[in-house]
Amino acid sequence: MTPDGFEDWAIDELDLDEDDIEAMKLAAVFDLFISRIEAARARGAADPLQTVTAKIAGGNSRASTKRMLEQLGFSPSQRRAVHRLLAGSPSGWPGLLRLYVDRRAMTREQRQYARRQVKVLRAQPARSRSGSSAACSARAVTP
């Protein structure tokens, strides 16, 4: 699985634009998830993709994935959305990674679900990697 192959597939399947890709931090999140999946495969996991799922993965794995996504600067709602988008959700959404690996085309409903997750990612700007927000304060100054 290559980042370019996955990214091209996701762009085509979801009709993503540059702003979508930037908000998703698609390449960085893909690399993060693949590193977790490869480590699980090296440990002999029967289904390494489960390592990055929100509900099926073990507690340490979920906590590790959460910390890694936080380090990329995602807010809590963005972190949950990108995690659902790529790794799936308990509601039955298989996740982009599973669809890509299984070479399955998305249904209309799946595409709608995925686009909703992309909207969440674009709804608020991501925080900086340090966790601080870049904000300025303007006060009226009287002489």
Q: For the segment 15-36, what is each residue's pLDDT rounded down to a tens digit? A: 999 999 999 999 999 999 998 8
Q: What mean pLDDT is reported for the chain?
A: 82
The average pLDDT across 42-71 equals: 78
Does the structure show a pLDDT above 50 at 82? yes
Tell me the mean pLDDT in the region 101-122: 93
pLDDT at 142: 42
pLDDT at 15: 94
Q: Is the pTM of this model over 0.85?
A: no
Q: What percent of the chain has pLDDT over 70?
A: 78
User: Lowest-confidence range among 10-14, 40-44, 107-111?
Assistant: 40-44
CB 118 within 8 A of CB 16: yes
- CA-to-CA distance for 132 and 142, rounded, in angstroms? 30
Reduce the DSSP state of residue 14 to 3 states and report it: helix
**In whole angstroms, what is the distance from residue 90 CA to residue 56 CA?**
9
Burial code of 8-27, b = ≥16 C-beta within 10 A, e = fewer?
eebeebbebeeebbebbbbe
